[in-house]
Structure 1
Amino acid sequence: MPEAPLDLEPFTSQTDPAALEDLRARLRATRWPDAPDEAGWSLGTDIEYLRELVAYWADGFDWPAQEAALARLPRFRVRLQGLGIHFVHARAVAPAGPVLPLVLSHGWPDSFWRYSKVIPLLTDPGAHGADPADAFDVVVPDMPGFGYSDRPTGAPLDSIAVAGLWAELMDVLGYSRFGAAGGDVGSHVSRYLALDHPGRIVAVHRMDGGLPVFTGDPADLTPEECAWFDETAAWGASEGAYGAIHRTKPQTAAVGLTDSPAGLAAWIVEKLRGWSDCDGDIERSFTKDEILTNVMLYWLTRTIGSSMRMYHANAAIPPEQLQRRVEVPSGFSLFRGDIVRPPRAWLERTANLVSMNEPEHGGHFAPFEEPELYAEELRAFFRPYRAATTG
């Protein structure tokens, strides 16, 4: 195993009690909007549910206990290209064979939180009823502008630049070859790791194929691909307003979302509910404590604006980059409850597809919703590639 480099600093967050008092005061002073009778979730976040959540946040939620739980993860900070990057680095426990280093990339609206449940299942599979030979060294960074990583003060970084940062991070940690996996924006970052660093990535696993970009002859598309393009366009028209704001005018929304904790929760909770496999009942996938822990990681770090700006950066990636084909062995787990799930023909067109699975349970946040199932997806996919790295 590589030794820890000298410039790494162990990291533990400890929130100032005054920040929590300020938060509670803001929550209790929320100026609530009206809503039509029986609107529920049809126009966005259900105000009645949000009132319930905010009341619990103000007077029942124990953030110090949640912060202490997150502190049990081995967390660090390191400077890369002038930015402080926060990450989890959890080593395999009692491995029974070659250890595969694995970098996991999160999406929006989350952070390293997305993988907090799955990390012990990957590092110590033997303790969780799986084969000890499937152990990973796991690295989970917060992207710049998310969580406890620095917010870029200049132009936001796109997925290509973040992939370059992760390649540098893995080099700092002593991993010459490794696997990559992710979902949402993290799927894009994992893709560019495979595209731009193919000699270092033994295989790449993704939870989605991204939004479709195709400038070729439409006659070359299969009927399934054409149908998926239409479905994706329809989804964007009905559900994609948030993305349009992020891509075009993120600073406008950032003012209110940084100032109002209730507004921030509304922005995030709607997506947790709409993108998870919960059949409309958000607490089937996430407890109130889990929801609020995710929201707190945005509130305390004031990163909602910087996280949205990554959409603006990604919108400027030229089409020729978006249409590059991944030649590194690629696997996909398309969870049944996820959004805009691509057909096999599209995955074969855009990647060297060696594995595609469709788990029956789980949604966009499957590593958090269904950690055991997600862990098994990664173990099974990466098993043939363990001999390709010495860890």
Structure 2
Amino acid sequence: MRSFRVSVPDDVVVDLRERLSRSRLLPDSPRRPETGMNAAYLHDLVDSWSAFDWRAREEWLNRHPQFIVDIEGTDVHFAHLRSERPDAPALLVMHGWPHTFALQLDFARLLPDFHVVVPSMPGFAFSAPYDGTMTENVMARLMHTLMTDALGYERYFTYGEDISANVSDLIAATYPGHVHGILATHAHFGTDEERAGVEDPAARAFFDRLSASGGPDGAYGHVQGTRPDTLAAALNDSPAGLLAWLVEKLVEWSDTPTGRPEMLERKISRDRILTEAMIYWSTQSIATSFRRYFDSEDDERIPPVEVPAAVAIQRHEHDYPESVARSFYRDLRSFDRMPEGGHFAVAEVPQAMATRMREFAFGLGLVSDLNA
């Protein structure tokens, strides 16, 4: 294991600004749907990125102790925020796509009574890509090995979002003796076969809604899973294009009013948005971040989770039925629906999520002070 500091070379920053200055931005298409990005917001973000004080942001990132460790031949990067309490419980916080570890740090900083580990998933940011098919089972094994063999935590809590939500479920299901509990805002959906057998009308309606929206809403995933290198070639060459591709999803999936992309910044500040773009740009990791999409066909059914679970339904899945959660999380300690916060829950409402995490651990007798 070795210490790590974020340090983007000067020539990368200079090149980025030159490319941004030459951006050829288009107007909105006529009669476009009022969703995701629009031309005015993209123009504004491009201008801000050109003037962005990256060195100040880099210094902020480096205030969080970071390391790289070799796990099964893969260099895995992670931030490790240790509590001053030796007996504090450990917590694994995983990101999804299109975010990075950086978007989870505000949440991690609000939990000084936990030892918080925030990794970069393989192929994202400062972690190397996995040399093989990167299935959910592989990611679960790598993350469990990080927590136990590399860091020495015998037991820990787990949390995941987006592509790491199933990874979190798998960790809890596969290594129950090492998991205190699982916090989920992206509760388990199940395979197509599992969904087909659902009888609860509320569950049936929820899965039917997902299927109906899967075409337009899932177009990005279809491209990333079928033509990843073609798309990545364009995004890796154009910072404006990369910014549009990333931020469109931040807007679309966050708890942001339709047709008002700038309102994203009520939940995720501009500095945080540009930090995400800068990490993808400087590490040239957009192509390897797509791996999860074209390796997904090898994923397997996840067995039910028997460890304690707390499920908080984020706004984009507001109609997720409690019956589905109870059938999968067999020791469900709490189930509720979040009043605010979308797909990027710990980034959008970090204080509320930190409170939920602390209450969950308090109920299990693993933290003693709800106001830490």
Q: Secondary structure at the match of 1:298?
A: helix
1:74 to 59, 65, 84: 65
Residue ranges of structure 2 left out of the alignment (5+ in a row): 368-372
- 2:45 is matched with 53
1:88 aligns with 2:67: no
Structure 1 CA distance for aligned equivalents of residues 114 and 97 of structure 2? 24
List per-residue Cα deviations over 1:324-375 (Å, max 9, x = no partner).
Answer: 2112222111123x34752111111222122112221111112111111010
Structure 2 CA distance for aligned equivalents of residues 216 and 173 of structure 1? 36
**Which is worse superposed, 284-293 or 262-271?**
284-293
Counterparts of residues 134-153 of structure 1 (less than 5 Å): 135-152=113-130
What's the CA shift for 1:88? Answer: 0.9
Residue ranges of structure 1 left out of the alignment (5+ in a row): 1-7, 124-134
- 2:10 is matched with 17
Structure 1 CA distance for aligned equivalents of residues 365 and 296 of structure 2? 32
Structure 1 CA distance for aligned equivalents of residues 165 and 103 of structure 2? 13
TM-score relative to the length of structure 1: 0.87
- 1:167 is matched with 144
Counterparts of residues 1-391 of structure 1 (less than 5 Å): 8-37=1-30, 39=32, 41-42=34-35, 44-58=36-50, 60-94=51-85, 98-123=87-112, 135-152=113-130, 154-171=131-148, 172-215=150-193, 218=196, 220-279=198-257, 280=260, 281-318=263-300, 321-322=301-302, 324-336=303-315, 338-339=316-317, 342-352=320-330, 353-387=332-366
What's the CA shift for 1:216? Answer: 5.4
**What count of residue pairs does the alignment treat as equivalent?**
361
What's the CA shift for 1:156? Answer: 4.1
**CA separation of 1:340/1:267 partners in 2, compared to 1, >3 Å: closer, same or farther?**
farther
Q: Secondary structure at the match of 2:284?
A: coil
Structure 2 CA distance for aligned equivalents of residues 64 and 296 of structure 1? 11
List per-residue Cα deviations over 1:179-237 (Å, max 9, x = no partner).
Answer: 11121112111111112111111211111124442425956520001000111112212
Q: Secondary structure at the match of 1:215?
A: helix
Q: Secondary structure at the match of 2:177?
A: coil
Q: Secondary structure at the match of 2:351?
A: helix
Asked if the contact 1:87–1:139 (Cα under 8 Å) also holds between the matched residues in 2, the reply is: yes
Q: Secondary structure at the match of 1:199?
A: helix
Aligned-pair RMSD on alpha carbons?
2.0
Amino acid at match of 1:64: R
TM-score relative to the length of structure 2: 0.91
Amino acid at match of 1:54: V
Asked if the contact 1:212–1:229 (Cα under 8 Å) also holds between the matched residues in 2, the reply is: no
Amino acid at match of 2:334: S
Asked if the contact 2:104–2:118 (Cα under 8 Å) also holds between the matched residues in 1, the reply is: yes
What's the CA shift for 1:241? Answer: 0.3
Structure 2 CA distance for aligned equivalents of residues 219 and 310 of structure 1? 27
Of all paired residues, the percent bearing the same amino acid is 34
Amino acid at match of 1:244: H
List per-residue Cα deviations over 1:114-150 (Å, max 9, x = no partner).
Answer: 2110112112xxxxxxxxxxx1111111100011111
Structure 2 CA distance for aligned equivalents of residues 259 and 216 of structure 1? 41
